[in-house]
């Protein structure tokens, strides 16, 4: 009976990790598809991303329900308790990343019929590429229980900030050159801020993975270098 209980418990912990992996994969996919929709001016694809966000929200609810059930029935201690609580925290960050991808898709819908300045789209594309790379790496770090890999992601967040700072200045210049550029530039600016915030949530996950593996918080200050003086707030 004890072996059956332990096996069942291990299966539930494995299911928790599986749900996190699926949720993370969907968040990655949506972010990539949202930028593709923006770059290609494809409103149909943008709408698919907006609708797909509901699946990410459902994953978070499923993970939350599983965690509550496991705590109530299993009363996990020490490492197991850390495992289930960490899964809950990661799910919350992945849900926000899904929201940010949805926000980018909404920007794509808003400017689907306007021409985009290619250099600016290239810069935003590089930001998205790095954000996706870091998100994949931190999800791998979680599945592999690799604290060093998580720390590498944590340190690299400054790269996304630097890209955002550069793009911010380029967009301001583009707006000042011609007031007719203000509309599309504002949408791209919010899109860039969404990607920068994806980096922040990925960094949160990296800190959480480090805590899961080593049982301690990251000792150093977060490597943050967003130098823009304007705070941009994205609406879901």
In a domain, 228, yes or no: no
For residue 222, pLDDT beyond 70: no
pLDDT confidence of residue 70: 92
Least confident segment among 160-164, 170-174, 216-220? 216-220
The mean pLDDT value for 107-122 works out to 88
Distance, first Cα to last Cα, the chain: 48
For residue 6, pLDDT beyond 90: no
Put simply, whether the predicted model's pTM sits higher than 0.85 gets the answer yes
pLDDT confidence of residue 227: 57
Q: Which domain holds residue 121?
A: 2-214
Instruction: Work out how many domains the chain is built from and give that number.
Output: 1
The mean pLDDT value for 152-168 works out to 94
Report which secondary-structure segment, H or E, holds 234.
none
SS3 call for 164: helix
Q: Which CATH number does the domain housing residue 22 bear? A: 1.20.58.220
| Triad 107, 109, 111: Cα angle to 5° | 70
In a domain, 220, yes or no: no
Return d(Cα 40, Cα 18) in angstroms, integer: 33
Q: How far is CA 236 from CA 39, 45, 61, 179, in A?
A: 20, 18, 18, 27
SS3 call for 165: helix
pLDDT confidence of residue 2: 42
pLDDT confidence of residue 5: 53
């Amino acid at each position: 009976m004890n072996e059956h209980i332990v096996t069942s418990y291990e299966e539930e912990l494995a299911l928790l990790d599986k749900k996190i992996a699926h949720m993370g994969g969907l968040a990655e996919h949506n972010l990539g598809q949202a930028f593709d929709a923006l770059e290609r001016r494809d409103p149909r694809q943008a709408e698919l991303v907006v609708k797909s966000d509901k699946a990410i929200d459902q994953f978070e609810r499923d993970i939350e329900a599983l965690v509550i059930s496991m705590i109530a029935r299993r009363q996990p201690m020490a490492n197991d308790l850390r495992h289930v609580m960490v899964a809950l925290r990661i799910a919350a960050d992945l849900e926000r990343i899904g929201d940010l991808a949805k926000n980018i898709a909404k920007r794509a819908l808003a400017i689907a019929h306007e021409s985009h300045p290619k250099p600016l789209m290239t810069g935003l594309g590089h930001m998205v590429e790095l954000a996706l790379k870091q998100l994949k790496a931190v999800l791998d770090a979680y599945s592999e229980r690799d604290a060093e890999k998580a720390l590498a992601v944590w340190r690299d967040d400054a790269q996304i900030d630097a890209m955002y700072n550069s793009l911010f200045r380029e967009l301001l210049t583009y707006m000042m050159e011609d007031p007719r550029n203000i509309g599309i530039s504002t949408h791209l600016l919010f899109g860039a801020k969404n990607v920068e915030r994806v980096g922040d949530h990925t960094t949160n996950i990296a800190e959480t993975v480090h805590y899961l593996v080593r049982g301690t918080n990251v000792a150093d200050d977060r490597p943050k270098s967003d130098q823009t003086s304007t705070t941009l707030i994205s609406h879901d």
